[in-house]
C-alpha cells in the first residue's frame, strides 16, 4: 500500500502540480501586497481617503468593510490579467504555431473538374468521369 502511494507521489505531474500550487500562493501574496501597498493608496489618494482598505458602512450595528472587498477584487483582477497575458496568450500562440497542415498524400491528386481526391495514376475521375 505504501509503495503505491510513494509511486503516486513521485510521478512527475504530482510534483509539478505541487510546485505550481506553491508558486501560485507566493504569486498571490506578491499581488496582494502590490494591491494593498501600492494600488490601494493610489486609489485612496485620488478619492482623498487616507486608508482605502478601511472603507466601511454600518447597517443596524453590522459593519461592512467594502474597502477590503475592493482590495480582494483588485488582487483577483491583477492575478487574472497576469495569468491571461503571461500564460494563456503564449500557450495559445504556441498551439496555433504547432498546428500545421498535414503534407499532401503523394498517392492522390485533385480532379481539375470536380476537385475530388483521386489516385495520382488515374486516367479518368471516378466521381465526375472527366478525362485526365
Q: For 115, left (φ over 0), alpha (ψ -120 to 50), or beta?
A: left
pLDDT digits (tens, 9 = 90+) for 116-127: 888 888 888 888
Tell me the backbone φ, ψ of residue 62, rounded to 5 degrees.
-95, 130
Structure confidence at residue 49 as a pLDDT band (50, 70, 90) = low
Domains of the chain listed by start with CATH number: 2-98 (1.10.1200.120), 105-132 (no CATH)
> Does residue 117 contact residue 108 with C-beta atoms inside 8 Å?
yes
Q: What is the pLDDT of residue 12?
A: 67
Place of cell 478619492: 47
Confidence bin at 65 (pLDDT 50/70/90): confident
- In the prediction, which pLDDT does 60 show? 92
Rounded distance between C-alpha atoms, residue 126 and residue 26, angstroms: 65
**pTM > 0.75: yes or no:** no
Amino acid at each position: 500500500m505504501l509503495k503505491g502511494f510513494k509511486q503516486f507521489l513521485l510521478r512527475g505531474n504530482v510534483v509539478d502540480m505541487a510546485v505550481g500550487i506553491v508558486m501560485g500562493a507566493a504569486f498571490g501574496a506578491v499581488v496582494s501586497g502590490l494591491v494593498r501597498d501600492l494600488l490601494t493608496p493610489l486609489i485612496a489618494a485620488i478619492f482623498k481617503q487616507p486608508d482605502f482598505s478601511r472603507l466601511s458602512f454600518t447597517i443596524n450595528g453590522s459593519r461592512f468593510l467594502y474597502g477590503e472587498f475592493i482590495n480582494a477584487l483588485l488582487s483577483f483582477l491583477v492575478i487574472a490579467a497576469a495569468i491571461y497575458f503571461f500564460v494563456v496568450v503564449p500557450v495559445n500562440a504556441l498551439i496555433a504555431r504547432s498546428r500545421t497542415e498535414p503534407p499532401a498524400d503523394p498517392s492522390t491528386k485533385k480532379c481539375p473538374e470536380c476537385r475530388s481526391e483521386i489516385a495520382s495514376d488515374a486516367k479518368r475521375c471516378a466521381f465526375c468521369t472527366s478525362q485526365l
